[in-house]
Amino acid sequence: MSKITMPLLKIELESWLELKKSMDAVPNGKMTTFGKYMNEKYAFKNDTILNEADHNTALLLIMRDHVQEIN
């Protein structure tokens, strides 16, 4: 299972939120979910994250299953 660091996850979330904010201003703008975006970009191979519509829940699932601390 792929891993990601917490600082990188934070950067990815902030970037995705900015993009989502821009897309929300576009009529009929379509945006991929945070879970799907992260699952595809980092090859998590996690169907629970892939199918999660809420970005907060997806974030928690990624933190639980895929964040690795750097020592």
pTM: 0.89
How far is residue 24's CA from residue 20's CA, in Å, rounded to a whole number?
6
Q: CA-CA distance, 18 to 44, in Å (whole number)?
A: 23
Where helices occur in the chain by DSSP H, the ranges are: 6-24, 34-41, 47-50, 55-66
pLDDT of residue 69: 85
CB 2 within 8 A of CB 43: yes
pLDDT digits (tens, 9 = 90+) for 10-64: 999 999 999 999 998 888 878 899 999 999 999 999 999 999 999 999 999 999 9
Q: For 33-44, what is each residue's pLDDT tens digit? A: 999 999 999 999
